[in-house]
A and B are shown apart, each in its own frame.
Chain A
Amino acid sequence: EVQLVESGGGLVKPGGSLRLSCAASGFTFSNAWMTWVRQAPGKGLEWVGRIKSKTDGGTTDYAAPVKGRFTISRDDSKNTLYLQMNSLKTEDTAVYYCTTQRSGSFDYWGQGTLVTVSS
């Protein structure tokens, strides 16, 4: 059974940093493309960024609002995906989901972790 468990969310001040983790199990993590999607309170879904598998180059792509501030990485030895968030803004407040990506869709989702950026 595929399981994705996010952690690391919490309250942070504007300008601060936070690192989210996503522990994966039930599939071959090293072969998977992985994505972060966020959802602000009461709002819709927003794609944050994606990392390819190392065999496909391990490259990353990001949405414009987070490019240059957020970094996605992976540790295949630990079956874990990361999202390093720097220079956080109040508009980054959201539930952050990690997902697997197959073709053009996000097929498995974690339960999400809440990040609140507030002074």
Chain B
Amino acid sequence: QSALTQPASVSGSPGQSITISCTGTSSDVGGYNYVSWYQQHPGKAPKLIISDVSNRPSGVSNRFSGSKSGNTASLTISGLQAEDEADYYCSSYTSSITWVFGGGTKLTVL
């Protein structure tokens, strides 16, 4: 199972919005609504920020939102803050009864 495709890096200024894409196939992202997103700060464990394509767990800022169109899922962060600087990973269930992650995207807040 190949990793989902994410841009290696994105950047934005405080207050701006950015979008991170996550591209898979009809056997994973396109076939199921089990796409999730994780935020990981250096040296820390990942944290779930979006589940089931667009659901925000309790306690996660409403500046984070998720969506999906076809084989591509997206994470949008609005009103960028310095604390958003981190690595972001998408994940999807697959038709092989496994899960696959994206390669990760490093977000830099300028």
Contacts and interface: CB of A to CB of B under 8 A. Distances in A.
Given A103-B34, A105-B48, A44 B1 contact: no
A83 to B, nearest CB: 16
Given A104-B52, A106-B38, A45 B46 contact: yes
Interface in B11-68: 32-36, 38, 40, 45-48, 51-52, 57
B35 to A, nearest CB: 7
Contacts of A105: 34, 36, 48, 51-52, 91
Interface in A72-114: 97, 102-112
A106 B36 contact: yes
Nearest to A44: B104
Interface residues of B, number: 28
Overall SS of chain A's interface: strand
Interface string A40-66: 000011110010000000000111100
Given A45-B46, A64-B1, A112-B45, A107 B99 contact: no
Contacts of A64: 1, 98
Q: Which of A47, A61, A104 has the most CB of B within 10 A?
A: A104
Given A37-B101, A104-B34, 13 more contacts: A44-B101, A61-B97, A64-B1, A103-B52, A104-B35, A105-B48, A105-B52, A105-B91, A106-B48, A107-B57, A108-B48, A109-B47, A109-B48
